[in-house]
Amino acid sequence: MGNTTDSTMAGESTSGQEFPLESVLSVFEGRTDQARPLTANDVMEELGCSRRTAHNKLNALVKRNTLATRKVGARGRVWWVPLTGITRDDSAKEHETYRDPEVNTGIADAELPGSGETLEKRRGALRAAYDYLSRNPNATESEFLVEVFPEHPAGYKTADKWWEAIEPALRELPNVDVNEDREHVWHYVGG
């Protein structure tokens, strides 16, 4: 590798050792607790690489849909190998496979009320609303309330309260546009 930029892009540490994406995956595969997510520090310590290299490699694996990530706390982030083989209907599985990695990150980072299991249910409701919009590219607010809320109430007793939490987060996700007319038609502008 000739120049410094090429070396850095390939994932070399300052000592010149390369860290291919497979070596980062081996850190995940070598854990005794396969369910525990890892931090960039975990990868950094295991491989002896720089923090920047760990972050770059982890983010590259997220873009390939090999790893998933989410923000924890004010400045923390964790990564994990997504579960496979979960039984779902084929259309949901197909849609999940081709979702833009930025959408998963946006959902994980969304400002939603609650914590723990409640927060996870609300992220699931946001994902369901996004998926509904991607299948119905010109949806109205009332359609979300009728089609998505009943199956994904996320701890809310009324559809209006549910929408107050989900709507601002949905607005911030990639490929979503809202026509601010009186009908508030939501548009999915992705591929």
Question: Could you check whether 4-80 and 90-188 share the same CATH topology?
Answer: yes
Give the closest residue to 144 by CA, choosing from 156, 122, 126. 126
Edge-to-edge strands, sheet with 185-188 = 138-140, 185-188, 176-179
Confidence of residue 1 (pLDDT cuts 50, 70, 90): very low
> Where are the chain's structural domains?
4-80, 90-188
The letter for the amino acid at 89 is: D
Cα-Cα-Cα-Cα torsion 25, 29, 32, 35, nearest 10 degrees, comes to 80
What percentage of the chain has pLDDT greater than the value 70? 75
Tokens, residue 24: 């980062």
pLDDT, residue 11, reads: 42
Residue with the larger pLDDT of the pair 186 and 78? 78
pTM over 0.85: no
Tokens, residue 75: 């400045």
Between the CA of residue 103 and those of 3, 28, 71, 110, 121, what are the distances in Å? Answer: 35, 23, 13, 10, 17
Contact 26, 81 (CB under 8 A): no
Q: How far apart are CA 5 and CA 117, in angstroms?
A: 43
The lowest-confidence range among 8-22, 58-72, 148-162 is: 8-22
DSSP-derived secondary structure for 144-178: HHHHTGGG--TT-SSHHHHHHHHHHHHHTSTTEEE
Residue with the larger pLDDT of the pair 191 and 104? 104
Tell the CATH topology of 90-188.
Arc Repressor Mutant, subunit A (1.10.10)
The letter for the amino acid at 51 is: R
pLDDT, residue 77, reads: 87
pLDDT, residue 8, reads: 40
The lowest-confidence range among 9-23, 56-70, 75-89 is: 9-23
Mean pLDDT, to the nearest integer, of 73-87?
A: 73
Mean pLDDT, to the nearest integer, of 104-121?
A: 89
pLDDT, residue 150, reads: 94
pLDDT at 14 over 50: no
Tell the CATH topology of 4-80.
Arc Repressor Mutant, subunit A (1.10.10)
pLDDT at 148 over 90: yes
pLDDT at 98 over 80: no
Mean pLDDT, to the nearest integer, of 155-182?
A: 86
Confidence of residue 181 (pLDDT cuts 50, 70, 90): low
